[in-house]
A and B are shown apart, each in its own frame.
Chain A
Amino acid sequence: MSLDKNTLVKLKNVGFRQNDKWLVRGVSLEVKKGKIVTLIGPNGSGKSTTAKIALGIYKKIEGEVEKYTIKVGYVPQKVSIDWTLPLRVSDFMVLTENLKDEAINEALSLTGVIHLKNKNLGNLSGGEFQRVLLARAISKKPELLVLDEPVQGVDFTGEIALYELIKKISDDLKCGILLISHDLHTVMSATDHVVCLNGHVCCSGSPLDVAKNNEYKALFGEQASQILSVYEHKHDHVHSNDGDIKQNN
């Protein structure tokens, strides 16, 4: 089989074990340029673990990871900045790559926190910090973005705006995104492919396919299933031959 040039990272039947317990096992997925893959699943289902396997943070794994890019932007689920380290937002922006001032300003403006540029990171609120994390990840114009709960702690209107931004980034930069979220409402509008995890891949496919899946219903309840399908029906879309869903608007 010839390799798809659009593939950025490919997980083949990967698993990770810690203290003799499998955190996640048997996961296969693929992130391509310009596509958004979303991982959903209950707490402890291995979403963050899967992301860390894809990023190469966990190395002693079962299975295989093929990575075709080194331009990676990552928003971890949890970052704590120690008081012993004096760090302004502007210092944090250039943490892994030297950027021009314009690039820093542009990214901070996009996530709406340009006014915090010279503030100390320790003094930011949870939502502000989350916006800075996202700005840092996109500022280096990565080919692959891995976002682990990127909008946690962000206010409701901000949440919608940031998801729109994430969608826009994926279109503009043609970068592939691996997104972790448990917000079923908002995520689905942009997602191309959903992987539902519960220690293993419980089901995967387009948002609508997943919503119809019985295992998904068992995991999240009938109501969650309705949220998804209702959401899908609010939009006009077509199902192409290969099973993809294309938005009309």
Chain B
Amino acid sequence: MFDDFFIRALFAGIGVAIVTGPLGCFVVWRRLSYFGDTLAHSALLGVTMAYSLEFNIALSVFIISSVIALILIQLQRKTNLPGDALLGLLAHSSLAVGLVVIGFLTFIRFDIMGLLFGDILAVTVNDLYFIWGGGALILFVLKLIWKPLFASTVNYELAEAEGLNPDRAKAIFTILMAAIIAISIKMVGLLLITGMLIIPAAMARNISDNPQKMVLFSIIGGLLSVIIGLFSSLEFNTASGPSIITASLVLFILSLLKIKQSIQLKN
């Protein structure tokens, strides 16, 4: 059944969407879009490391992204630069270093477009194991830290005062972010992973009145985006990542109509 590249891509995309749904909600709630972007940009460096050391791509991306996250936390402590400047510094320098390293690896043929924007043809059965195994692990850990993470998202001091250890939850969440980027890079590409995280979640916010609903709609929105995006990518021969993100954008616009309706109802 997984012989067909399209079936593999579909299953990979579904696995990714189930995990990006809840994580994306936290990215929106905690205002981490640029943080996600930075980790994703650094993924290119991870990919080049994987190629030059003949190492598993997902693992290598996960390690490099985690290291970048740690460096960011250190820089935030040690310097007085504002957070967005630090994020930009790390995002662009890791992307640039990654591209420079590619220049040195002349013996390998790189599909740069595939790296940046995703490539459904590239999904292997091995990738599927990584996506579903890693995804299940991410969701399991997220479930474990849900209470302290959510409480500190609402109010850090309340969570700290009432003994929930929000700092630990935040550190674990950072690692989960690196992990989701590692497993979804082949599907969506590193420039568009943050879109996969935030657009379905933003769509879900427009139509939800409580956090559980928002997580559920975010997952459904992600699934629909993957399915619609991949089929149209097959139909129009477009790159998988942009097709999926475009589909999620259409869903977001539709959710805006629902907001407009409910505002009119109230008046």
Identify the A interface with B (CB < 8 A). Answer: 52, 55-57, 70, 72-74, 76, 79, 81-82, 84-88, 91-92, 95-97, 120, 146
Contacts of A72 in B (CB 8 A): 161-163
Q: Are B157 and A87 in contact (CB under 8 A)?
A: no
Contacts of B31 in A (CB 8 A): 84
| Bound CA–CA A85/B155 (angstroms) | 11
Partner of A86 from the list B153, B161, B205 (CB cut-off 8 Å) is B205
A78 → B minimal CB distance (Å): 9
Contacts of A96 in B (CB 8 A): 147, 151, 158-159, 162-164
Contacts of A56 in B (CB 8 A): 160-161
A224 → B minimal CB distance (Å): 30
8 A-B pairs with CB atoms under 8 Å apart are A57-B157, A76-B157, A85-B29, A87-B210, A91-B210, A95-B154, A96-B163, A146-B161
- Answer whether A95 and B205 are a contact pair too, CB < 8 Å, given A55-B161, A73-B162, A76-B158: no
B214: Cβ under 8 A from any A Cβ? yes
Q: Are B29 and A91 in contact (CB under 8 A)?
A: no
B168: Cβ under 8 A from any A Cβ? no
Residue among B151, B161, B213 facing the most chain A CB atoms (10 A cut-off)? B161
B76: Cβ under 8 A from any A Cβ? no
| Bound CA–CA A120/B210 (angstroms) | 8
Contacts of A73 in B (CB 8 A): 162
A175 → B minimal CB distance (Å): 14
Q: Are A74 and B161 in contact (CB under 8 A)?
A: yes
Contacts of A88 in B (CB 8 A): 209-210
Contacts of B161 in A (CB 8 A): 52, 55-57, 72, 74, 76, 146
Q: Which residue of B lies closest to A121 (CB)?
A: B154
Q: Which residue of B lies closest to A97 (CB)?
A: B162
Q: Are B153 and A85 in contact (CB under 8 A)?
A: yes
B211: Cβ under 8 A from any A Cβ? yes
| Bound CA–CA A83/B211 (angstroms) | 12
Q: Are B150 and A95 in contact (CB under 8 A)?
A: yes
Q: Are B155 and A87 in contact (CB under 8 A)?
A: no
Contacts of B159 in A (CB 8 A): 95-96
For window 175-195 of B, CB contacts with A under 8 Å fall at: none
Contacts of A146 in B (CB 8 A): 161
- Answer whether A86 and B162 are a contact pair too, CB < 8 Å, given A74-B157, A81-B154, A96-B151: no
| Bound CA–CA A95/B164 (angstroms) | 10
Residue among B155, B162, B164, B211 facing the most chain A CB atoms (10 A cut-off)? B162
Q: Which residue of B lies closest to A80 (CB)?
A: B155
Tally of chain B residues near chain A (CB < 8 A): 24
Identify the B interface with A (CB < 8 A). Answer: 28-29, 31, 147, 150-151, 153-155, 157-164, 205, 208-211, 213-214
| Bound CA–CA A180/B177 (angstroms) | 40
A77 → B minimal CB distance (Å): 10
A76 → B minimal CB distance (Å): 5
Contacts of B29 in A (CB 8 A): 82, 84-85
| Bound CA–CA A74/B213 (angstroms) | 27
Q: Are A86 and B211 in contact (CB under 8 A)?
A: yes
| Bound CA–CA A79/B158 (angstroms) | 9
| Bound CA–CA A86/B205 (angstroms) | 7
B45 → A minimal CB distance (Å): 31
- Ordered nearest first, which 4 A-B pairs have the shortest CB separation? A55-B161, A74-B161, A96-B162, A95-B151
Contacts of A55 in B (CB 8 A): 157, 160-161
Q: Are A79 and B210 in contact (CB under 8 A)?
A: no
| Bound CA–CA A92/B211 (angstroms) | 10
| Bound CA–CA A14/B80 (angstroms) | 28
Known: A74-B162, A81-B154, A85-B29. 18 other contacts (CB 8 A): A52-B157, A55-B161, A56-B160, A56-B161, A57-B157, A72-B162, A76-B158, A79-B155, A86-B205, A86-B208, A86-B213, A87-B210, A88-B210, A95-B154, A95-B155, A96-B147, A96-B151, A146-B161
Q: Are B210 and A86 in contact (CB under 8 A)?
A: yes
| Bound CA–CA A81/B157 (angstroms) | 13
Contacts of A74 in B (CB 8 A): 157-158, 161-162
Q: Are A57 and B160 in contact (CB under 8 A)?
A: yes
| Bound CA–CA A52/B161 (angstroms) | 8
Q: Are B154 and A85 in contact (CB under 8 A)?
A: yes
B152 → A minimal CB distance (Å): 10
Contacts of A57 in B (CB 8 A): 157, 160-161
